[in-house]
């Protein structure tokens, strides 16, 4: 337990102000708070590995709202809240009064009477997901201030159109473990690259979350994508500013080969073009199936122009000593396995398969850490209580 004691001591030295606060975007949190969150997640992970209970609530409810499909994040949220002692209730909008026109303000209050946390995934509509989350946050704040709610539940972003903070934080913890410390990330090159997929419409939030977070730790961040596959310009500019402030570098490459060259970490991941996501939103909102089908056909044809953007053995050989760490949020499009041609060659994925599983394994503890730091003012004391013999 010496490592846990050391981590809690480090945590006590960090100045944070996350109590009572939502977690919607990583860049709304200070560097100290990001470091603290990583430490708390690591402590919770080690306590769980040691078979120690993580229960900190005697009762209370966690609400999940998944407006898109999910495996890892859905079960990570369920695992996290269960471990902390909360019950879980999933809001199925089709089975609620939302289908009858119930407003966001009304729904948010009706589900929150005894809730501690609300986790929301809303990533399909560019310009809408994060805004929806803030609408829910404003509604529960009003309910609390007006005495309708005895307490204000914390909101956790389980992926929106802008950021995927539980994923990028899990990635950060995985990198910290791989290289030994956050300080060891300084000067390491990470290639966040678009990769070919036989599907379209994948959110921008994973690559945006990665470049916005890793650029804060002095890494040399390279973003690579074919022409027309850029990300939200404001997030790209944020990554540039972060790199300048942290002493790292930020660059944009026009080929996967250039991005992979001498990289210590590679993250090949498909995403839809920013312009396409903007065109897709009104079609989804109108339920225009014909328009969506036409857009999909157009985009798949465009994607097919870039089938060479695959993380294969030849590109991995370009990385530092040919041994860069491969990362992915999963599920990956694996050539010859899940699809004919995809993001990554089967041999590459298989070599790093367990590493990607370990990467994903930090997500429940990241979510638990977000909840713990929001609901308890003195997180080090809570962790000491969990760790005591």
Is cis: bond before 195, omega within 30 of 0?
no
* CATH 3.40.50.1370 holds for 167-361: yes
- Do the domains 2-163+363-387 and 167-361 sit in the same CATH topology, yes or no? yes
Please give the structure tokens belonging to residue 269.
């991941």
Helices (H), 225-272: 233-246, 256-260
115: enclosing H helix or E strand: strand 115-122
Residue 340 exposed, middle or buried by CB count within 10 Å (0-12, 13-18, 19+): exposed
Write out the CATH class of domain 2-163+363-387.
alpha beta
Whole-Å CA distances, 286 to 53, 124, 125, 194, 282? 47, 14, 12, 29, 6
Q: Between the CA atoms of 163, 169, 170 and 172, what dihedral angle is there, to the nearest 10 degrees?
A: 120
Residues 161/204, Cβ–Cβ less than 8 Å:
yes
Per-residue pLDDT of the chain in tens (389 residues, 90 and over written 9): 679 999 999 999 999 999 999 999 999 999 999 999 999 999 999 999 999 999 999 999 999 999 988 999 999 999 999 999 999 999 987 766 665 567 889 999 999 999 999 999 999 889 999 999 999 999 999 999 999 999 999 999 999 999 999 999 999 999 999 999 999 999 999 999 999 999 988 999 999 999 999 999 999 999 999 999 999 999 999 999 999 999 999 999 999 999 999 999 999 999 999 988 899 889 988 999 999 999 999 999 999 999 999 999 999 999 999 999 999 999 999 999 999 999 999 999 999 999 999 999 999 999 999 999 999 999 999 999 999 96
Neighbours of 325 (CB within 10 A): 21
Task: Give the domain ranges of the chain.
Answer: 2-163+363-387, 167-361
Q: Say whether 327 sits in a helix, a strand or coil.
A: coil
**Which of 323, 373, 376 has its CA nearest to residue 348?**
323
Strand positions, DSSP E, 188-240: 189-193, 220-224
Please give the structure tokens belonging to residue 169.
């934080």
Q: How does 266-289 read in b/e, with b if 16+ C-beta sit within 10 Å?
A: bbbbbbbbbebbebbbebbeeeee
Phi, psi of 89 (to 5 degrees): -135, 125
Name all contacts of 45-54 with Cβ < 8 Å and 24+ positions apart. Answer: 45/361, 45/362, 45/365, 46/3, 46/4, 46/7, 47/4, 47/386, 47/387, 48/83, 48/365, 50/1, 52/386, 52/387, 53/83, 53/386, 54/83, 54/84, 54/368, 54/386
């Amino acid at each position: 337990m010496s490592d846990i004691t050391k981590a809690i001591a480090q945590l006590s030295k960090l100045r944070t102000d996350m109590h009572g606060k939502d977690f919607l975007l990583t860049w709304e949190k200070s560097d100290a708070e990001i470091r603290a969150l990583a430490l708390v997640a690591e402590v919770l992970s080690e306590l769980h590995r040691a078979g120690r209970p993580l229960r900190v609530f005697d009762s209370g409810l966690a609400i999940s709202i998944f407006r898109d499909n999910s495996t890892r994040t859905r079960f990570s949220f369920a695992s996290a809240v269960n471990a902390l002692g909360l019950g879980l209730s999933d809001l199925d909008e089709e089975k609620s009064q939302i289908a009858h026109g119930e407003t966001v303000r009304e729904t948010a209050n009706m589900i929150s009477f005894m809730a501690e946390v609300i986790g929301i995934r809303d990533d399909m509509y560019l310009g809408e997901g994060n805004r929806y989350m803030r609408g829910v946050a404003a509604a529960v704040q009003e309910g609390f201030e007006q005495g309708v709610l005895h307490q204000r539940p914390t909101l956790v972003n389980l992926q929106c159109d802008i950021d995927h903070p539980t994923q990028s934080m899990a990635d950060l913890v995985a990198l910290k473990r791989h290289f030994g410390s956050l300080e060891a990330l300084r000067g390491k090159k990470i290639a966040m690259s678009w990769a070919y997929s036989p599907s379209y419409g994948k959110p921008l939030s994973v690559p945006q979350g990665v470049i916005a977070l890793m650029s804060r730790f002095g890494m040399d961040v390279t973003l690579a994508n074919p022409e027309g596959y850029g990300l939200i310009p404001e997030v790209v500019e944020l990554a540039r500013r972060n790199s300048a402030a942290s002493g790292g570098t930020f660059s944009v490459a026009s080929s996967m080969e250039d991005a992979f060259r001498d990289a210590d970490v590679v993250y090949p991941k498909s995403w839809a073009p920013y312009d396409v996501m903007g065109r897709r939103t009104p079609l989804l909102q109108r339920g225009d199936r014909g328009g969506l089908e036409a857009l999909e056909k157009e985009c798949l044809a465009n994607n097919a122009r870039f089938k060479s953007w695959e993380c294969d053995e030849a590109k991995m050989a370009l990385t530092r000593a040919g041994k860069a760490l491969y990362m992915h949020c999963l599920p990956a499009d694996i050539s010859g396995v899940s699809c004919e041609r995809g993001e990554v060659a089967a041999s590459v994925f298989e070599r790093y398969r367990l590493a990607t599983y370990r990467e994903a394994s930090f997500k429940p503890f990241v979510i638990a850490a977000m909840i713990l730091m929001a609901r308890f003012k003195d997180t080090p004391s809570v962790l000491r209580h969990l760790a005591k013999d």
